[in-house]
Amino acid sequence: MTAINKMKILYLTDQTHTHGGIEKVLSQKANYFADLAGDEVIIATYNQRKLPSCYRFSEKITFIHLEINYRAGKSFWHFENLLKIIHHRAKLNGIIKEIRPDVVVSSSFGVDRFFIPFLERNIPKIKEYHFTKHFLSQQKSVKKFFLDKINNFIDQSYHQVVILNEDERKFYHTNNITIIPNPAELDAPQAPLTKKNIIAAGRIIYQKNFEHLIEVGFKISREFPDWQIHIYGDDYLGRKDILQNKIDQLSLRNTVIFKGTSADLKKTFLDYSIYALTSNYETFPMVLLEALSVGLPVVAYDCPTGPSRILKNNEDSYLIPYKNINIFVDKISILMADEKLRKEMGNKAVRNVQRFAIEKVMGQWKNLFNELKIKNA
């Protein structure tokens, strides 16, 4: 890592009270800079709603809660939210003027991304993208054409745009792109892989495609009646009830089980022997890094666009052709039946994930901050 002076870093996000990849990786990066790099870290939220953070944040980090609290279920362009946008912009501009950070990093994907680059233009602004544009790129319409123009203009207005993997680069039509993956914390013990439990985790939303995981459970239940699939995550808009109905219809109450949320997922992983991912799409899922870091072999759909950038097929995982349930069942069955193979793949997982060690990834962030600070001095 390039040696530089301590920095004042302002992270902007919507909230830190729900379990999710953005919230998790923000806690990792902010804690690293505050505790290990000795930087001054400030996190400003706008939808915290006076709720506690779900992940641990260093006591050295300063939180500023703007409490804009946009009206949920309404468009940002609804009259009530439009008034909040005006208030949000003015309040955030005042915060940036007051604290004068060396760099501002926009972490979440909200309406603020449209005005952040135009606040205090001499202070470097970075936009992080944590989602894939794969499906958006396939849409064709006049509205889409103009939205793309607007988004490209906004991206170009930031000093730098950071994306998570090389596959995403083709979706951005701007020259200020840097690729920095999510980091892996490698401080957990290795899972023994002896228990007959499969785990999946993520917010219970369409993206995660837990419907397919339930079908996998149905197909393996006869051959492996003593194995269970456990799903961890927050419910979203009642989707859990829909999935539970499917579980009940297939008589899988003792096979596929919702377990709520976990305060420490890596610790929870130690009670499992396989990680399963059936997502419709991902970008660079933190949960795969966490699974590999404790030596869980993975069975995952090769969905757009992230798993193939993390997993090494036939070494630490099986990458399954997109949405091919039958092959998914075949491969996960092989792992369920062979504890020795699970342990061999788990050992390779621990070795392979080292390339995403937090020290390496945060070194890339530190160098980017340094470059922007020098360029905009």
Give the confidence band of 4 by pLDDT, cuts at 50, 70, 90: low
pTM of the model: 0.90
Are 336 and 369 in the same domain?
Answer: no
pLDDT class for 3, splitting at 50, 70, 90?
A: very low
What is d(CA 168, CA 136) in angstroms, rounded to the nearest whole number? 12
How do residues 148-176 score in pLDDT, each as one tens digit? 899 999 999 999 999 999 999 999 999 99
Domain range holding 130?
A: 8-181+357-375
Q: Are residues 212 and 102 in the same domain?
A: no
Same-domain check for residues 245 and 291: yes
The β-bridge partners of 163 are 179
Q: Summarize pLDDT for 349-364 with one digit per residue, the tens.
A: 999 999 999 999 999 9
Instruction: Please indicate, yes or no, whether residues 124 and 202 belong to a single structural domain of this protein.
Output: no
Please state the rounded mean pLDDT for residues 266-285.
Answer: 96
Element (H, E) at 374: helix 358-375
CATH code, domain with 210: 3.40.50.2000
Whether residues 134 and 204 share a domain: the answer is: no
Give the per-residue pLDDT at 42.
98
Same domain, 215 and 131: no
**pLDDT score, position 1:** 42
Domain-embedded: residue 186:
no
**Inter-CA distances, 19 with 22, 26, 70, 203, 368, Å:** 9, 11, 19, 7, 28
List pLDDT tens digits, range 225-243.
Answer: 999 999 999 998 899 999 9
**Segment 211-238 mean pLDDT:** 96
Structural domain includes residue 49: yes
- Rounded-to-integer distance, Cα 224 and Cα 338, Å: 12
Note the Cα 253 to chain centre separation in Å.
29
| Domains of the chain: total | 2
Report pLDDT for 134.
80
Instruction: Compute the average pLDDT of residues 194-206.
Output: 96
Same domain for 309 and 205: yes
* pLDDT one-digit tens code per residue, 100-129: 999 999 999 999 999 999 999 999 999 999
pLDDT tens digits, residue range 51-100? Answer: 999 999 999 999 999 999 998 878 888 888 999 999 999 999 999 999 99
Are 163 and 46 part of one and the same domain? yes
